[in-house]
Amino acid sequence: MDGAAEVRITRREHFSAGHRLFLPELSDAENYSVFGPCSNPKGHGHNYRLEVTVAGPVDARTGMVMDLKRLHDVVQAVILDKVDHRNLNLEVDFLQGVQPTTENLAWAFFQELAPHIPKGRLRRIRLEETDRNSAEYEER
Amino acid sequence: MDGAAEVRITRREHFSAGHRLFLPELSDAENYSVFGPCSNPKGHGHNYRLEVTVAGPVDARTGMVMDLKRLHDVVQAVILDKVDHRNLNLEVDFLQGVQPTTENLAWAFFQELAPHIPKGRLRRIRLEETDRNSAEYEER
Amino acid sequence: MDGAAEVRITRREHFSAGHRLFLPELSDAENYSVFGPCSNPKGHGHNYRLEVTVAGPVDARTGMVMDLKRLHDVVQAVILDKVDHRNLNLEVDFLQGVQPTTENLAWAFFQELAPHIPKGRLRRIRLEETDRNSAEYEER
Amino acid sequence: MDGAAEVRITRREHFSAGHRLFLPELSDAENYSVFGPCSNPKGHGHNYRLEVTVAGPVDARTGMVMDLKRLHDVVQAVILDKVDHRNLNLEVDFLQGVQPTTENLAWAFFQELAPHIPKGRLRRIRLEETDRNSAEYEER
Amino acid sequence: MDGAAEVRITRREHFSAGHRLFLPELSDAENYSVFGPCSNPKGHGHNYRLEVTVAGPVDARTGMVMDLKRLHDVVQAVILDKVDHRNLNLEVDFLQGVQPTTENLAWAFFQELAPHIPKGRLRRIRLEETDRNSAEYEER
Amino acid sequence: MDGAAEVRITRREHFSAGHRLFLPELSDAENYSVFGPCSNPKGHGHNYRLEVTVAGPVDARTGMVMDLKRLHDVVQAVILDKVDHRNLNLEVDFLQGVQPTTENLAWAFFQELAPHIPKGRLRRIRLEETDRNSAEYEER
């Protein structure tokens, strides 16, 4: 394979978590007008689908951009172990003070993962909150 | 069509909700040993997929067992409006005192819906909590 | 394997077709009140997902209830070649005078297929009109 | 979050519609040779899956690129209300004279939606006609 | 909940394996005529989707028919550890001498799992070889 | 439509194949440490999902970037007929000496297909080995 060719690999993971979208300075009614039912004060949750994309040249011997098993292990340790079956507003260190929208989660997951992936290789985080709503953050 | 022929129709719906599995008389550690991460005291949640099956003869003129739009409206009013973006432990009248497992939810939804469907026609409730775990309750 | 054991096999197929739900003796407004947007006079259509289930003992040598390739060929010839990319109200011989609801289609497909499957083996037709609406007809 | 960071959000919608691919100056046989079974003169249809992607910086307070509920409302009013359960050749104002291929639909939907989304933010329309065939139009 | 009410729970698992359908007494050409491309002498494989259904009354305290985590552990130990990333013709003790069709696999998995599930509770094994072909074995 | 507008179309295909990841100069234990269970000496396999994306201007008369039926025929002849129900290590001419990882397959399929697609139009190959692992190769 041409040494310069870049291939992208994607690992898909799943987790379930609770969250609430709200601004503490607003009343419940005001929060509802901004965030809709996602502002429910007693919380709710989702099954999130997470995609992590890594890009790079393909190793001539192994045929891999990066071992997908190792990529899974990194995502498990850095993200899934902290968010799965957790309350995203209250229990995740790197989300303190972050509004847990799909947009912010995608961006925050990228920042958390990047130091654990060979430099410049983490390309994209895509996160589905439901079958209908998703967000992605990409760096090229 | 043969007058005696019974056909089953199924409507698939979605909702997102929060829940916690626990027994109040147990400690957090004891609850974890029974319910695993689903016992997380700060809650979490899921995107639930709900299937409602109604069986009956097909109307000779309309070709319908039951108008699927009307079935949707019933499920919306009786179930979805009460559980979507809600905390299943705290906010649903008909789930007070019910452990919100997928099994119990399927059974409870059946009891709630049955009085609103022509007698003897509600056949099955199937509920997926995740892509991997589901429960169904059926009456023939 | 125990000679009496019955196993069910299912083949899933797809087709796209147009249809309109209406009663000719009603006005467009009356049809709309009965059938909703499916009564649109200029037609519309769907990608249908069809499941055909055959049950029987497993052949001791081949390990098959019935060759799935042969089952596919039968469904292709008897159903798919007649309905795929067709108008279900106007172009399908065995649907003349049939209201093309999912219920009626499931029942009609069963009647068409049964003579082409070893006697008593065709068990169920399941038809999805959309991800949300489906019908099934079963004989045991 | 870094003020310059752009995140993409995607809303997925569904509609069912009828269409026919043909050129009026050709015979039915000639149209079949160009468009295959999609040229069936009596029409057929599909369940379309539509994805609308909007890109922009994330609002520091709400954590949103754009309220997904508002995005849904725009897509509903500008696209879905006009195409769902309609004949795409005959009943959609902005498709008059347009061959209703997936390619042309994706492009036309982009043009219709762009004026209703904050300037420069609409990024991509992706449209699946079936599980096997899709088209996308993107502006960066 | 009514003490007699039976609820069914289903756990969905995945594995990838290789197999070949053939009869040793036949030539390659004869095997092809019986089994088609699945008889390829150098083997091929599939991503199998496995569903295990257990039925029973719901425990009044836990709200469970059976702990789904424990069900997963049983399926992992009894089935998945033996078949995942394996050659089904050559490497699975309980499949020696079994033609590895989807039918036979579903039946064999049922026999293997039954002794590890509370007596009479294992209800159904459903196995998808591809999105189009599946088999199920059920005992009531 | 604006003459310069480029639209992308994607055709999704499926095939099942067997493979083994290994380096002949390594022992089985060493191969396991590099490739994990994918190095199983007796082979295994997957249901692959293949997406082929072609980009170009839309033809003013037909509304097509390229006839999707013709695109399918090319993919069938150039790729699917060679890999479906085959052993990717042993039976595919253009994969001789290639480690059959998802990365290498995506890249190799691109090279094979490019000469059969109008020059510069083949844009991307995306290949899913399982629901969790995929690779894509893109040229712009």
DSSP class per residue in E3-46: TT-EEEEEEEEEEEEEE----TTS-HHHHHHHHGGGG-TT-EEE
For the stretch C22-47, pLDDT in tens is: 999 999 999 999 999 999 999 899 99
Is residue B17 within 8 A of residue B88, CB to CB? The reply is yes
Band of residue B4 on the pLDDT scale cut at 50, 70, 90: low
Band of residue A118 on the pLDDT scale cut at 50, 70, 90: very high
For the stretch B99-118, pLDDT in tens is: 999 999 999 999 999 999 99
**Touching chains, D (3+ CB pairs < 8 A):** A, C, F
C80 to chain D, closest Cα gap in Å? 13
Most distant CA pair in chain C: distance in Å?
A: 60
Locate B29 and state its tokens: 């550690």
For the stretch C68-121, pLDDT in tens is: 999 999 999 999 999 999 999 999 999 999 999 999 999 999 999 999 999 999
DSSP secondary structure letter of residue E109: H
> Do chain B and chain C touch with ≥3 beta carbon pairs under 8 Å?
yes
Whether the predicted pLDDT of E139 surpasses 60 = yes
Is residue C75 within 8 A of residue C52, CB to CB? The reply is yes
Query: Which residue from C37, C84, C91 is facing D85, i.e. has the nearest CB?
Result: C37
Q: Is the dihedral of CA E92, E94, E100, E104 positive or negative?
A: negative
Helix or strand or coil: residue B85?
A: coil
pTM over 0.90: yes
- What is the average per-residue pLDDT within E111-117? 98
CB C135: neighbour CB atoms within 10 A?
A: 25
Query: Which residue from A38, A46, A131 is facing B46, i.e. has the nearest CB?
Result: A46
Whether the predicted pLDDT of D1 surpasses 60 = no
Q: Name the burial class of residue D19, with classes exposed (0-12), middle (13-18) and buried (19+) by CB atoms within 10 angstroms of its CB.
A: buried
Question: How far is residue E119 from each of residues E114, E115, F52, measured CA to CA in Å?
Answer: 7, 7, 50
Query: Taking CA atoms, what residue in C is nearest to D86?
Result: C44
> What is the set of domains in chain D, with CATH numbers?
6-138 (3.30.479.10)
Give which of A105, F53, E129, C11 is closest to D64, Cα–Cα.
Answer: A105
Whether the predicted pLDDT of B15 surpasses 60 = yes
Q: Residue B57's beta-bridge partner residues?
A: B6
Contact list, F14 vs chain E (CB under 8 Å): 130-131
Whether the predicted pLDDT of F4 surpasses 90 = no
Which pLDDT belongs to residue A5?
82
Are the beta carbons of E64 and B101 separated by less than 8 Å? yes
Whether the predicted pLDDT of F2 surpasses 60 = no
Which pLDDT belongs to residue C5?
82
> Do chain D and chain F touch with ≥3 beta carbon pairs under 8 Å?
yes
Catalytic residue flag (residue A129)? yes
The number of C-beta contacts closer than 8 angstroms across D and F is 55
Average pLDDT of chain C? 95
The upper half-sphere exposure of residue E6, i.e. CA atoms within 13 Å in the direction of its Cβ, equals: 13
Torsion of CA B95, B79, A50, C49, to 10 degrees: 140
How many Å apart are CA F7 and CA D138, to the nearest integer?
8
How many Å apart are CA E97 and CA E89, to the nearest integer?
8
Whether the predicted pLDDT of B13 surpasses 60 = yes
For the stretch B18-30, pLDDT in tens is: 999 999 999 999 9
Are the beta carbons of E42 and F14 separated by less than 8 Å? no
Are the beta carbons of C133 and B68 separated by less than 8 Å? yes
Question: How far is residue E116 from each of residues A2, E71, E136, measured CA to CA in Å?
Answer: 52, 9, 19
Band of residue D22 on the pLDDT scale cut at 50, 70, 90: very high
Give the mutation candidate from C26, C103, C107 for the B interface (greatest B CB count, under 10 A): C103
Give which of F9, F7, F128, F4 is closest to F72, Cα–Cα.
Answer: F9
Whether the predicted pLDDT of A44 surpasses 80 = yes
Whether the predicted pLDDT of B3 surpasses 80 = no
How many Å apart are CA F55 and CA C117, to the nearest integer?
45
Which pLDDT belongs to residue C43?
87
Are the beta carbons of F104 and A1 separated by less than 8 Å? yes
How many Å apart are CA A63 and CA A69, to the nearest integer?
14
How many Å apart are CA C84 and CA D138, to the nearest integer?
31
Could you give phi then psi for residue C95, rounded to 5 degrees? -110, 10
How many Å apart are CA B11 and CA A19, to the nearest integer?
28
Whether the predicted pLDDT of D47 surpasses 60 = yes
